[in-house]
Amino acid sequence: MMRFLLLFSRQGKLRLQKWFLPMTEREKKKIIRDMTTMVLARKPRTCNFLHWRDLKIVYKRYASLYFCCGLEDQDNELLALEVLHRYVELLDKYFGSVCELDIIFNFEKAYFILDEFLMGGEIQETSKQSIAKSIEASDMLQETMEEYMSKPAF
């Protein structure tokens, strides 16, 4: 299973963190620090895999964002790369040419999409259509925009 998924920028700013096993805040901070320093220090065109403690780290850079996940020993690294890619595709489909700003301003959406795709560190649904459909369905449940706009900002 995947233990965690992190999205961080080239400057090391964390954009999204998902932990699939309970962990103390201290541990999380340690992992975030180790991952950002390790991955950001990698030279271009090196391989996408690393060993860290007892985990396999798989990372990939998309534009200004690094997607980085920690896998257990028996997990398949290549497929994890495609998990990352599929997640990017899903974000892209939802936001339309997704960029880092989309994820910053709509972080809750990024989490919701991830939840449709992964659960407990395992793939829940791989079909892009199914995921898109269920996100669409939950968006339909939202109040209309006008309804929101009439509410005060603060």
Partner 1 sequence: MPAVSKGDGMRGLAVFISDIRNCKSKEAEIKRINKELANIRSKFKGDKALDGYSKKKYVCKLLFIFLLGHDIDFGHMEAVNLLSSNKYTEKQIGYLFISVLVNSNSDLIRLINNAIKNDLSSRNPTYMNLALHCIANVGSREMAEAFASEVPRILVAGDTMDSVKQSAALCLLRLNRTCPDLVPMGEWTSRVVHLLNDQHLGVVTAATSLISTLAQKNPDDFKTSVSLAVARLSRIVTSASTDLQDYTYYFVAAPWLSVKLLRLLQCYPPPEDGAIRGRLTECLETILNKAQEPPKSKKVQHSNAKNAVLFEAISLIIHHDSEPTLLVRACNQLGQFLQHRETNLRYLALESMCTLASSEFSHEAVKTHIETVINSLKTERDVSVRQRAVDLLYAMCDRSNAKQIVTEMLSYLETADYSIREEIVLKVAILAEKYAVDYTWYVDTILNLIRIAGDYVSEEVWYRVIQIVINRDDVQGYAAKTVFEALQAPACHENLVKVGGYILGEFGNLIAGDPRSSPLVQFHLLHSKFHLCSVPTRALLLSAYVKFINLFPEVKGTIQEVLRSDSQLRNADVELQQRAVEYLRLSCIATTDILATVLEEMPPFPERESSILAKLKKKKGSGTVSDIEDSRKERNVNANANVNGSSDHTITNTSAKPPPSFACDLLATAPPPTNRPRPIPSSSMLHTPLTPLSPKAYTPQPVTPTVPFYQVTSSPSSDLLGLGNSSAVNSASPPTSSHAASLLVDVFSESLPVAALGSASAHVIEENFSRFVCKNNGVLFESQLLQIGLKSEFRQNLGRMYIFYGNKTSTQFLNFSSSVVCPEPLSSQLNIHMKAADPVLDGGAQLQQILNIECISDFVEAPVLNIQFRYGGSTQNISVRLPVTLNKFFQPTEMTSQDFFQRWKQLSAPQQEVQKIFKAKHSMDTEITKAKIIGFGTALLDGVDPNPSNFVGAGVIHTKTIQVGCLLRLEPNTQAQMYRLTLRTSRESVTQRLSNLLSDQF
Residue 11 binds partner 1 (CB under 8 A): no
Site string for partner 1, 87-106 (x = CB under 8 A): -------xxx-----x-xxx
Using CB under 8 A, which of 30, 37, 63, 139 touches partner 1?
139
| Cβ burial 33-43 (10 Å sphere, 16+ → b, else e) | eebbeebbeee
Quickly list DSSP for 16-54: EEEESS---HHHHHHHHHHHHHHHHTSPTTS-SEEEETT
Interface pick for partner 1 out of 11, 26, 97, 108 (rule CB under 8 A) = 108
Binders of partner 1 among residues 25 to 84 (CB under 8 A) are: 29, 43, 45-51, 53-54, 74, 76-79, 81-82
Please select the residue that binds partner 1; options are 9, 12, 17, 64, rule is CB under 8 A: 17
DSSP 51-116: EETTEEEEEEEETTEEEEEEE-TTS-HHHHHHHHHHHHHHHHHHHSS--HHHHHHTHHHHHHHHHH
Three-state DSSP at 150 gives: coil
Q: How far is the CB of 108 from partner 1 (least distance, A)?
A: 6
Measured from the CB atom, is 61 or 82 closer to partner 1?
Answer: 82
Contact present, 56 and 70 (Cβ < 8 Å): yes
Using the rule CB under 8 A, is 153 a contact of partner 1? yes
User: If DSSP codes are grouped into helix, strand and coil, which group holds residue 120?
Assistant: coil
Binding site for partner 1 (CB under 8 A): 1, 14, 16-17, 20-22, 29, 43, 45-51, 53-54, 74, 76-79, 81-82, 85-86, 94-96, 102, 104-109, 111-112, 115, 119-130, 134, 136-145, 148-149, 151-154
